[in-house]
Each structure stands twice: as C-alpha cells, then as structure tokens.
Amino acid sequence: MGRRGPLPKTRRTTRPKAPASPMPPPTWLPSAARKIWKATAPGMQESGRLTAASAELLGQFCAVVVELRSLACVIAKEGSLTRGLHGSIVSAAHVAASKLRGSLVSLSKSIGIDVPTAARLDASQPEPEVVDAVQAFIATRHRPEPVTLEEEEAKEAATQAFCASIGMK
C-alpha cells in the first residue's frame, strides 16, 4: 500500500536483456569489496538494475559492506562497550557500525537490492547513460596503494634519523 492507496500495477511488456559482458567494478574499489561486487553485480545486471549510472552506488555499497564486516570483527573482539571516565560508554567501533548500517540501508534502497524497492523498480525501461565529468575524473585518477607496516616503520626510522642529524629530538 502506498500513502494514498494501493500502488499502481506496472506491467512489463518485455523482459530486460542480460548484457553481453559483465560490468567491471570501479577502479577505486578495494580487493575485498571487489569480491562482493563479483557476487552481487551479475544478478543486478541480469535484472537490468545495474547500469553505468548505478555502478558507482553499487561500488559504494560493496565498500560499506567490507567496512561493516571489519567493524563487526572489532566489536566481536573488543565488545560494544568501553570504559570511560564516567563508567561504561558505547565504543567508537559500535557507533561507526551503527552509522554504516544506516548508509547500507540507504544505498541498498537506492540501487534496488532490498526486496520492497526491487519490487517497485521497473527495470524494463533502460536508464539514459549519464556521463558525469567529476565521476569520470575520480575513476581515472591514481589512488596510491596502502602503506605496509614495514614501509611505515622505515619512514619513521628515517624521520628520526633526520631529526637526530639536525639536532632535534
């Protein structure tokens, strides 16, 4: 039911055609999120919900899922509460996970992953291809690889040696 009565019935005259080749994940997507993309994208592409315009949202969805899983591991290890000056307080990981869950729900509604939204989306009408100059720039710019612990330690040692050589502590 909608706010003012039942939703209009939509009829699909044609089934969406499955694309010939799978859509690649965005270049900025971390490797753990790419695994989620590879599990989610084919079903969305077959139903016609994954287009060039919605690919960015699916990439964000996959990245949020990975972050939420890592926070769930932290919460499982350390707990949801931490000791503060005035007693037990909610841990930062728990607060971040709560906010990420809200983002996950919002993103899943935007791309039609949740069941009610998927039922309302009419995938038979293809979305017009929108080229956003900002998104095109973001997709092509170089993202540095994460720094390893050894590299971080070597950088710290070099900084300390430099400071010692100029007489600073």
Give residue limits of the domains in the chain. Answer: 31-123
Mean pLDDT of the chain: 79
- Interhelix angle 92-111/55-78, rounded to 10 degrees, is 150
Residue 6 has pLDDT above 80, yes or no: no
In the prediction, which pLDDT does 13 show? 45
Tokens of 143: 């993202």
| pTM beyond 0.75, yes or no | no
In the prediction, which pLDDT does 60 show? 92
In the prediction, which pLDDT does 123 show? 46
In the prediction, which pLDDT does 33 show? 92
Other Cβ atoms less than 10 A from the Cβ of 21: the count is 6
Q: Which contiguous run of DSSP H or E holds residue 12?
A: none
| E-state strands within the chain | 81-84, 87-90
pLDDT bracket for residue 59 (50, 70, 90)? very high
With left for phi above 0 and alpha for psi between -120 and 50, is residue 85 left, alpha or beta?
alpha
In the prediction, which pLDDT does 15 show? 44
